[in-house]
Amino acid sequence: MKKSIIKYFIQVFLIVFSVVLGLYLSDRIEDRKNEKNATKLLSKIKSELNENKKLLDRWVPYHGQIVNNLDSLSNDEKFIKKFINDKSAIYEAFSEGTIMSDMPSNDAWDIAKSHPLVVNIDYDILLGLSKIFNQQKFTYESIPKLIDLMLSTEFNATETARPNLKLFKDKLEEIYGRELQLINYYNETEKILNFHYN
């Protein structure tokens, strides 16, 4: 009788142990799978960041140049008269003929931040990414407004030409300042990413 009770307890123990071990291993396998998928998700974000940084490296000096050009042109009476007669005179300040043709994207970030796997990404990395993409949004939301201002009929009207030119320059200078901050955010986050994933 004693032997059968011990045998019974050993069998119960082995069954319970097997179930607990199975659950533990299943959780570990799921955790590894989630970590692997989170790494893929992060890899897509890093790729998007690299492309955005290339765009930024192109546009930041250009926007600084436009601000400087507008600064000197707005004090030039010849230019002001020319601008009042033809608003396309403003393109003298643009060496590329546009304010910005390509905008940084945030598609991978938008997908990632609503994905359940985002919890597997380090907090400091998420904070850095959040700073970048929020700053990027605030930086470039003014571009369509600037374009609307340029296209408006009163942009170069005699009485509003100077104030509109100043407004245009000030708004672009604000974008330029935000771009410089955005570069700092990129650099900080890049250091954190390299620390965690290299």
Instruction: Average the pLDDT over 167-182 and give the result.
Output: 94
Q: Is the pLDDT of residue 116 over 60?
A: yes
Contacts 24+ apart (CB under 8 A), 185-189: 185/128, 185/131, 185/132, 185/135, 186/49, 186/52, 186/53, 186/56, 186/132, 188/128, 188/131, 189/49, 189/125, 189/128, 189/129, 189/131, 189/132
8-state DSSP, 99: S
For residue range 42-90, what is the model confidence (pLDDT) as tens digits?
888 889 999 999 999 999 999 999 999 999 998 899 999 999 999 999 9
Interatomic CA distance for residues 91 and 2, integer angstroms: 99
Kindly list the structural domains of the chain, giving each domain's residue range(s) and its CATH number in brackets, ordered by start: 36-197 (1.20.120)
| Residue 71 confidence (pLDDT) | 92
Which whole number is the average pLDDT over 16-32? Answer: 87
| Mean pLDDT, the chain, whole residue set | 88
What is the separation of C-alpha 155 from the centre of its chain, rounded to a whole number of angstroms? 31
Tell me what the mean pLDDT of segment 22-38 comes to.
84
What integer is the mean pLDDT of 176-184?
A: 94
**Pairwise CA distance, residues 196 & 198, whole Å:** 6
Query: Residue 198 has what pLDDT?
Result: 57
Q: Tell me if 197 sits within 8 A of 154, measured CB to CB.
A: no
pLDDT of res. 196: 66
* Alpha-carbon span 136 to 133, nearest angstrom: 5
